[in-house]
Amino acid sequence: MSLPHKFIGVAVIWNDRGQILIDKRRQGGLMGGLWEFPGGKIEPGETVEECIKREIWEELGIEIQVGDRLMTIDHIYSQFAVTLTVHHCRHTNGEPQPLECDEVRWVTLDELDFYTFPEANFQIINALRNIVRG
Ligand SMILES: Nc1nc2c([nH]c(=O)n2[C@H]2C[C@H](O)[C@@H](COP(=O)(O)OP(=O)(O)OP(=O)(O)O)O2)c(=O)[nH]1
Ligand SMILES: [Mg+2]
């Protein structure tokens, strides 16, 4: 049996105050109510960078500059598998709006502990802490 496999571009969006943008997935849907780093499915013919820029515009209505890749994570959930390609991004323009989620918030690395993320995100959060704190 092979699980469906989703390829996702994920953005760690930094602002000038060293905060990161997170969003709360819509209640009811898959992983509803969990917080995540914004992003979505890579479409055919699209690079990860293009996917991230497009998704962030569609989901949050802001402009970003997509920077270096932080990491790629393969994770298997009970119903599907995901490959998350995570890039550092910089917020350049616009006020984030919850266009396709329930809420958006700027948080510090420390504050991430107060939010519940999907299982695969532990690796992302650990990597961010290692980078920032050496
Ligand atoms: N954007 C994002 N997705 C994440 C993170 N962590 C994590 O496991 N995921 C998973 C949850 C989703 O299955 C998938 C994100 O894709 P999506 O939000 O566009 O897809 P979806 O759940 O709407 O899936 P579908 O119903 O359209 O098939 O990746 C994260 O930090 N950010
Ligand atoms: Mg999405």
ipTM: 0.94
Closest CA to 93 of 40, 31, 26, 16: 16
Ligand 1: which residues within 6 Å by Cβ?
A: 6, 8, 10, 30-31, 36-41, 82, 84, 118, 120-121
Residue nearest to atom 19 of ligand 1 (CA): 40
Among 3, 30, 54, 124, which residue has the most ligand 1 atoms within 8 Å of its CB, making it the best to mutate?
30
8 alpha carbon, closest ligand: 1
Q: How far apart are the first and last CA of the chain?
A: 41
Domain ranges of the chain: 5-133
Per-residue pLDDT of the chain (134 residues; tens, 9 = 90+): 789 999 999 999 999 999 999 999 999 989 999 999 999 999 999 999 999 999 999 999 999 999 999 999 999 999 999 999 999 999 999 999 999 999 999 999 999 999 999 999 999 999 999 988 77
Tell me which of 3.40.1010.10, 3.60.15.10, 3.30.465.10, 3.90.79.10 is the CATH number of domain 5-133: 3.90.79.10
pTM above 0.90, yes or no: yes
